[in-house]
Amino acid sequence: MEIFNGSFTQQEPLSQEAIDAALRVLHSGRLHRYNVEEGDAGEVALLEIEFAERVASEFCLAVASGGYALATALRAVGVKPGQKVLTNAFTLAPVPGAIASINAVPVLVEVTENLTIDFDDLEAKAPQSDVLLLSHMRGHICDMEKLLKITNRHGIRVIEDCAHTMGAGWNKKPSGSYGIIGCFSTQTYKHINSGEGGLITTNDPQIMSKSIALSGSYMMFEKHLSAPAKAHFDGVKYETPNISGRMDQLRAAILRPQLKELDNQIARWNERYMIIESFLRRVEGLQIIERQTQENFVGSSFQFLLLNRSYAEIQSIVEGCKSRGVELKWFGQGEPIGFTSKYDSWKYIPSQKMTKSDRIINSILDMRLPLTFSPEDCKLIATIIGQEVERKTPLERNG
């Protein structure tokens, strides 16, 4: 029996260009974003300009993390303590965490077998809130035009959590540019890697001036180049609390070269994703997550469903794969471990019954596809999963 020896958590090294850029910042000693020499924009301000352009957005702010970006977005649109915020039930802890961090209350919306938000349930819960924090969880993107029809009809503003969709899009329009705000993460396991980091994009000058002030601008907002005109700060500069969460020059310096390479990296991710998908499509007893043709996704991770299986059966498939080096994350596991997390383990939010999502989330198997995996590695991983699933497939159809 083949065994896979690669590591699901090993990212590629940074390029020499990124390392050189980091060394320039370190030699300069000027690591704070506002500590720039006369005439020098600084790495952070340049990253913001380049990222805004990349996602076809008017303005961009770089911050300390993706989770910080989400909380800042919620504050910037004026979510108040006690206010309800809609969000999808299938997501990771930073999303309900951002809502809870400002003492707002998540209202969970069911998900479909495509792992995207359930429009019927959204429609039903729409009267409860005027903000939707939409998580494009694991890079699965719902029909954004249809979503905006629903949210516009109900006067709901959409904040997009694009932690898994940097570089992705719907119908050729960048993910993050559909809602009023896009929030991105540059944490190690996302699409560009600065260890920690986040980006906020919007076309709304009020939201951006408020976000900049919130992030801790020390009245240095004129050093921001991807920002609205000075006049937009008049109404916010004395009114907005400073909740420091800026990005530093070192991170920005290593992100800028990575941003230039993003399209190449996406092509490499999708090559790996398609190898696994086409292989697993032939395996009986598991369900592929279908993508719509308008979805311009980034296949940086892979999910499939083991629907209608018992807990013990799924557990045994997970263990079988693990013993052969393929570590699958199982969202239905009793205890959340590693990066998995299910809504019912977020005890800080009101308990909610998600009947439809339970069936789906409990059957999700998930793995990252770091670019250190070769196409050959992906074939091997898919072979192992296929064998383990088929070995444990009830044989009734063979009769």
Ligand X SMILES: *Cc1c(COP(=O)(O)O)cnc(C)c1O
Strand 364-368's sheet: what is its strand order?
287-288, 301-305, 364-368, 329-330
Q: Residue count at the site for ligand X (CB under 6 A)?
A: 14
Taking CA atoms, 122 is separated from 154, 258, 351, in Å, by 10, 36, 18
CB of 263 to ligand X, least distance (A): 21
Between 198 and 320, name the residue whose CB sits nearer to ligand X. 198
CA gap 29, 101 in Å, rounded: 33
Residue 182 interacting with ligand X (CB under 6 A): no
Compute the least distance from the CB of residue 378 to ligand X, in Å. 22
Q: Which stretch binds ligand X (CB under 6 A): 61-69, 77-85, 213-221, 385-393?
A: 61-69
Which pair of structure tokens corresponds to residue 85?
């915020």
> Distance (Å, rounded) from C-alpha 254 to C-alpha 65?
15
Q: Least CB distance from residue 98 to ligand X, whole Å?
A: 8
- Nearest-angstrom CA–CA distance, 96 and 77: 17
66 belongs to the binding site for ligand X (CB under 6 A) = yes
Query: CB under 6 A: which stretch of 91-99, 124-132, 213-221, 222-230 binds ligand X?
Result: 91-99
Is residue 370 involved in binding ligand X (CB under 6 A)? no
Taken in order 371, 169, 192, 340, the sign of the CA dihedral is: negative
What 3-state DSSP class applies to 62? strand
- Binding segment for ligand X (CB under 6 A), chosen from 86-94, 115-123, 304-312, 326-334, is 86-94
Among 33, 54, 63, 67, binds ligand X (CB under 6 A): 67
Residue 265 Cβ vs ligand X, minimum distance, rounded to whole Å: 17
Question: Taking CB under 6 A as the rule, does residue 65 contact ligand X?
Answer: yes
- Is residue 92 at the binding interface for ligand X, with CB under 6 A as the rule? yes
Question: CB of residue 315 vs ligand X: minimum separation in angstroms?
Answer: 24
CB of 111 to ligand X, least distance (A): 13
What's the closest the beta carbon of residue 12 comes to ligand X, in angstroms? 18
Nearer to ligand X, 59 or 90 (CB): 90
Euclidean distance between CA atoms 162 and 87, whole angstroms: 13
Contact pick of 129, 165, 177, 187 for ligand X (by CB under 6 A):
187
Residue of 119, 1, 2 lying closest to 376 (CA atoms): 2
Between CA 342 and CA 93 the distance in angstroms is 8
- Classified as helix, coil or strand, 151 is helix
Span from 60-68, 76-84, 117-125, 305-313 in contact with ligand X (CB under 6 A): 60-68
Cα separation, 137 vs 134, in Å, equals 9
DSSP string, 234-301: TTTTTTS-----BPPHHHHHHHHHHHHHHHHHHHHHHHHHHHHHHHHTT-TT-EEPP--TTEE---SE
Tell me the backbone φ, ψ of residue 321, rounded to 5 degrees.
-65, -45
State yes or no: residue 91 binds ligand X (CB under 6 A).
yes
Rule CB under 6 A: which of 248-277 touch ligand X? none
Interface with ligand X, residue 161, by CB under 6 A: yes
Residues interacting with ligand X, by CB under 6 A? 65-67, 91-92, 94-95, 135, 137, 161, 163, 185, 187, 198
